[in-house]
Amino acid sequence: MPFYKDHVYPYLVSALGNPKPIEDIRRRIVPLAQGIVLEIGVGPGVNFVHYDPAKVNKVYALEPNPGMLRRAEEQRRRAQLDIEFLDLPGERIPLADASVDTVVSTFTLCTIPGVAEAIEGLRRVLKPGGKLIFFEHGLSPDPPVRRWQKRSEPLFRWAFEGCHVTRDIPSLIGKGYFNIEQVDAGYLSPFPKSGSYCWWGVAVPELSK
Ligand SMILES: C[S@@+](CC[C@H](N)C(=O)[O-])C[C@H]1O[C@@H](n2cnc3c(N)ncnc32)[C@H](O)[C@@H]1O
């Protein structure tokens, strides 16, 4: 359904993806980015205004959906940053090994079909000592909420182009040979609990892999 994917979905993400509790956390974590940054699944580009131009040299903004890119282009004009769009999926990052200081992923690892492959790619492009800043939603620790999440997963996947509410994102990041240095978690209103259990924090590539 190209019309849904290129128009309705970008509209829904723009309309629903940045209520105040979520924006407050974006405002806290995105400025941790520094140097050369890769943001995956930038969507409508709501994070751009939160980068600190004094710390960031360049942002590679990866996003495969052309409808999202049109919206992100509008945000790019508002930000005082060098932003280069990469119109590819996160499973095919077109950057060299160890070329990026910071990777940013907000509400994207829930949606990428090949999430393990994408995380492997994030690790590949990060320089030693680089950081992955993440803010994602997924599997709740509470059994009653989990039951709702399992029931509502097909609806989320349909309405939000493959979004999973049952992914345990910190576990996936750990399995991709990252150490999670810092993480907070909780339900972020105003959404139902099945769609609003979030984690936000920083992970670093394991040295030994
Ligand atoms: C829920 S939106 C989040 C957008 C934005 N990061 C934010 O925080 O509002 C998920 C984004 O992931 C993108 N996406 C879907 N499949 C992807 C893939 N394989 N690789 C990278 N991004 C993908 C979607 O097009 C969409 O822009």
Which atom of ligand 1 is least distant from the CA of 39?
6
pLDDT at 89 over 80: yes
Cα 20 from Cα 113, distance rounded (Å):
28
- Model confidence at 182, pLDDT cuts 50, 70, 90, reads very high
Beta pairing, strands 100-106 & 126-137: parallel
pLDDT at 209 over 90: no
Cα 154 from Cα 170, distance rounded (Å):
22
In the reported structure, the alpha carbon of residue 57 is separated from the centroid of ligand 1 by a whole-number distance in angstroms of 23
What does the pLDDT read at residue 190? 84
Q: Is the CB of 112 under 6 A from ligand 1?
A: yes
Q: Is the CB of 19 under 6 A from ligand 1?
A: no
pLDDT at 80 over 70: yes
Q: Is the CB of 122 under 6 A from ligand 1?
A: no
pLDDT at 1 over 70: no
pLDDT tens, 41-56?
A: 999 999 999 999 999 9
Find all residues with CB under 8 Å of 115, minimum gap 6, and list them.
109, 167, 172
Query: Hey, which of 86, 111, 156, 158 would you mutate to test ligand 1's pocket, going by the most ligand atoms within 8 Å of its Cβ?
Result: 111
Q: Whose CA is nearest to atom 10 of ligand 1?
A: 108
pLDDT at 59 over 80: yes
Which among 29, 73, 24 is positioned nearest to 51, based on CA atoms?
Answer: 29
Q: Is the CB of 108 under 6 A from ligand 1?
A: yes
DSSP 8-state code for residue 14: H
In the reported structure, the alpha carbon of residue 43 is separated from the centroid of ligand 1 by a whole-number distance in angstroms of 5
pLDDT tens, 24-36?
A: 999 999 999 999 9
Please state, rounded to an integer, the average pLDDT across all residues of the chain.
Answer: 96
Q: Is the CB of 105 under 6 A from ligand 1?
A: no
Q: Is the CB of 13 under 6 A from ligand 1?
A: yes
In the reported structure, the alpha carbon of residue 118 is separated from the centroid of ligand 1 by a whole-number distance in angstroms of 12
Burial 158-176 (b: 16+ CB within 10 A, else e): eebbebbbebebbebbeeb
Overall CATH class of domain 2-205? alpha beta
The distance of Cα 208 from the centroid of its chain, to the nearest Å, equals: 25
Cα 166 from Cα 52, distance rounded (Å):
33
